[in-house]
Amino acid sequence: MAVELHRGSTSMRDYTPTAAVSAGDVITIAPLQYIAHRDIAANELGALACPAGTAAYKVPLDATYTVADGAAVLFNISEGKAKAGGVHLGYAEGAADGTAGAAYVYVRHDITSA
């Protein structure tokens, strides 16, 4: 399951990847994380969602990761899911416990670093 827009609005920025990007991919342009809403072909101009606005995303949750409501959510880019030791993606909108079987967490995509 890829990261997907749940609700809200976001600002977008232009982005031309050197390799193809899939909708739902999280892209780091240091020091921030951006989210692709659509597929972008390699070397073609596309757009990424900026960590601002009111956007909340449904994010896959690692089975070992527990997040409290309002807590910073970390994201492992290589594994494509919220997981300890990842980069800051935003803040949880509601608690989620992967150890109890939760498959995802809702995350307000926020620029503030943890």
Segment 20-56, tens digit of pLDDT:
999 999 999 988 999 999 999 999 999 999 998 789 9
Q: What is the pLDDT of residue 106?
A: 98
> Strands, DSSP E only, in 1-114?
4-7, 12-15, 26-29, 32-36, 46-49, 56-60, 66-67, 72-76, 81-82, 87-92, 96-97, 104-109
pTM: 0.91
Q: What is the pLDDT of residue 53?
A: 75
Query: What is the Cα–Cα distance from 6 to 76, expressed in whole angstroms?
Result: 20
The pLDDT tens digits of the residues spanning 73-83 come to 999 999 999 99
- Is pLDDT above 60 for 113? no
Of the candidates 114, 102, 107, the residue with the CA atom closest to the CA atom of residue 26: 107
